[in-house]
Each structure stands twice: as structure tokens, then as C-alpha cells.
């Protein structure tokens, strides 16, 4: 447990004499935008203990670590790094984001309100996806940068509040890329396939790739799978093709990014691409209850 390890290191430093006890605070650098929905990568001294909001984060042998900021993360996050009895605490200012409202009408009713007899299947599929995202491997690929998984314009952005057939749903946790059926889809970073499913109710043919330390990417509505569970992929290696399987209104790739169960915005990791036109100015959102 990182906290205990820090304590032991601290005790050792104290025994070694006042000189060691006066060691400098551990280094800390962060990369990535500190904003809602962001994956943030940090570096500190190997062996340092890091916690975010009081929860320990895993630090690899080189001192690298990462964490995700939820789409509705509060305005500050508290990061503590300790090594050799010294600790630094940093309060991170998390930039808020304005999310769009996306209305999609004309979806088949059974996709918006699944019939009760489907509940068992949906629950199984939910747990399958959750388990893949819980993978906590030592793969280093989360540190190597990400690329767009296929060509095409952005047709749907992260965080949009979705109203399907007039019914408010959970936000859109991913980026949609418009491309014709059959367009190759490739891994946006190297990793291991932790889910390759032919027929999930909402997402159709679906792939999840683990990049290490809880970071994974998701590729859904595929026309064809070109990978199998357990397969190692290099960045840019084809894993399937664009399609419209599952709950989809036309050929596109839905690309997702997760840090464990936290849904993040993959578009923050890659060069910007043209997206849908900005929505017209709207009335302020209604006050949140409570
Ligand atoms: Zn989507």
C-alpha cells in the first residue's frame, strides 16, 4: 500500500540522520489539460507515493502515474506526493466545461426504452464492459500518446446531454467520427484487447483496448471485428471497421476513453478536428435540484 510504504521510507530517512531527513520535496510535473473529462499524466520520483483526493494512485517503476477527471469533476482536486518523509500537496484548479445538448429523434422505441425481458441481457453486458474497464495492467502504452482511430469529421462530442426521442438520457461519453461503413478502425495507442464482442445490445460489435494503469479505449458500432480478446495491438493496428451496429442511426465510430470506470474525453489527447457547428446560444440551464 503506497501510504504505508511512504511511512517506512520516511522512518528510514529519519534513522539515517538529520541530513537525509531534510531531503528535498519530491519532483512533480503534470501533462494534459486540467479540465473536466481529462486524462492527466504525472511524473514524480520512482518510489514516491501519490494520492488524489485521499485515494492512493499507482505509480510505476519510473515514477509515472495517471488519473482521470470526471465530466462533472469539482473545481479543485487535491494531489499529494510524498517520498523520503517529505510531502508536497498541490491543489489543482479543474477548468469547467460547457457541454452541448444533442437531440436525436426517430430512434426505434426499444432502444430508448428497452423492454423488461431484456434486463438480464443488459445487466450481463454492463458487467462485461465494467470488468474490461477494471483491468489494471502494467502496460506502459498510456504514456506513449494517442492518435485518432479513423479518418472523418467529428459528428458528436464528449459530454453532450442527450435527449433521445424526447427523453433525457445520460451524457454522451465519447467522440463520434463520421466515416463510411468498412473504413478501417485502428488502436489509438498500443495495448491488449480486453473485450471483443460481436453483438452487444446498445453498442453492437464492440472492442475495448487496455493501455495499462486503468486507461482503456472503446470502439463501438463496428461493422466487423478484426481482433480477438487477449490480442496485443500496436498503435495504429487495425482492430475492426466502421459500421452501424447496435443503437446507431448511421455509419460512424463511437470512440471512448476511460480511466477505470471514469468516462473521459479522448479528443483532449489528439490534434483537433473539424466538428459539428456550434449550437445556437441557448437559455441558461435550469438550476440543479439540491
Ligand atoms: Zn457516440
The pLDDT assigned to 35 comes to 98
CA of 103 to the centre of ligand 1 (A): 13
Q: How many Å separate Cα 181 from the centre of its chain? A: 25
Whose cell is 470506470? That residue is: 261
Q: What integer pLDDT is reported at residue 233 of this predicted model?
A: 98
CA of 269 to the centre of ligand 1 (A): 17
75 CA → ligand 1 middle, Å: 26
Q: Ligand 1 centroid to 204 CA: how many Å?
A: 12
From CA 131, how far away is CA 165, in angstroms rounded? 30
List, run by run, the mean pLDDT of 10-residue segments along the chain (290 residues). Answer: 36 36 77 95 96 96 97 97 92 95 84 86 96 97 97 94 87 96 98 98 96 98 98 98 93 98 97 76 55
Q: How far is the CA of 30 from the centre of ligand 1 (A)?
A: 29
Between the CA of 18 and the centroid of ligand 1 the distance, in Å, is 57
Q: Give the per-residue pLDDT at 9.
A: 34
160 Cα–ligand 1 center, Å: 10
Closest alpha carbon to 75 in 36, 28, 124, 29 = 36
Q: What pLDDT score does 114 carry?
A: 82
CB atoms within 10 A of CB 11: 11
What's the pLDDT at 192? 98
Amino acid at each position: 500500500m503506497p501510504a504505508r510504504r511512504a511511512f517506512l521510507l520516511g522512518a528510514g530517512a529519519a534513522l539515517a540522520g538529520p541530513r537525509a531527513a531534510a531531503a528535498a520535496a519530491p519532483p512533480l510535473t503534470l501533462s494534459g489539460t486540467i479540465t473536466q473529462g481529462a486524462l492527466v499524466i504525472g511524473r514524480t520520483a520512482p518510489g514516491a507515493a501519490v494520492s488524489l483526493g485521499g485515494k492512493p494512485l499507482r505509480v510505476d517503476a519510473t515514477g509515472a502515474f495517471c488519473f482521470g477527471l470526471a465530466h462533472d469533476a469539482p473545481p479543485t482536486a487535491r494531489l499529494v506526493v510524498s517520498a523520503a518523509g517529505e510531502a508536497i500537496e498541490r491543489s489543482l484548479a479543474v477548468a469547467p466545461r460547457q457541454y452541448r445538448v444533442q437531440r436525436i429523434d426517430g430512434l426505434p422505441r426499444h432502444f430508448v426504452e428497452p423492454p423488461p425481458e431484456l434486463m438480464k441481457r443488459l445487466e450481463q453486458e454492463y458487467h462485461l464492459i465494467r470488468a474490461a474497464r477494471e483491468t489494471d495492467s502494467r502496460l506502459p502504452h498510456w504514456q506513449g500518446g494517442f492518435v485518432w482511430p479513423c479518418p472523418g469529421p467529428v459528428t458528436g462530442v464528449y459530454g453532450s446531454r442527450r435527449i433521445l426521442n424526447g427523453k433525457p438520457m445520460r451524457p454522451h461519453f465519447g467522440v463520434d467520427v463520421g466515416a463510411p461503413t468498412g473504413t478501417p478502425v485502428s488502436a489509438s495507442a498500443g495495448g491488449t484487447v480486453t473485450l471483443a464482442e460481436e453483438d452487444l445490445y446498445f453498442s453492437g460489435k464492440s472492442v475495448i483496448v487496455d493501455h495499462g494503469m486503468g486507461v482503456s479505449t472503446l470502439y463501438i458500432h463496428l461493422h466487423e471485428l478484426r481482433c480477438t480478446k487477449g490480442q496485443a495491438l500496436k498503435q495504429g493496428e487495425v482492430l475492426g471497421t466502421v459500421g452501424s451496429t447496435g443503437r446507431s442511426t448511421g455509419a460512424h465510430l463511437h470512440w471512448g476513453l476511460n480511466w477505470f470506470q471514469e468516462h473521459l474525453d479522448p479528443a483532449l489527447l489528439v490534434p483537433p478536428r473539424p466538428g459539428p457547428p456550434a449550437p445556437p446560444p441557448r437559455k441558461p440551464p435550469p438550476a440543479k435540484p439540491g
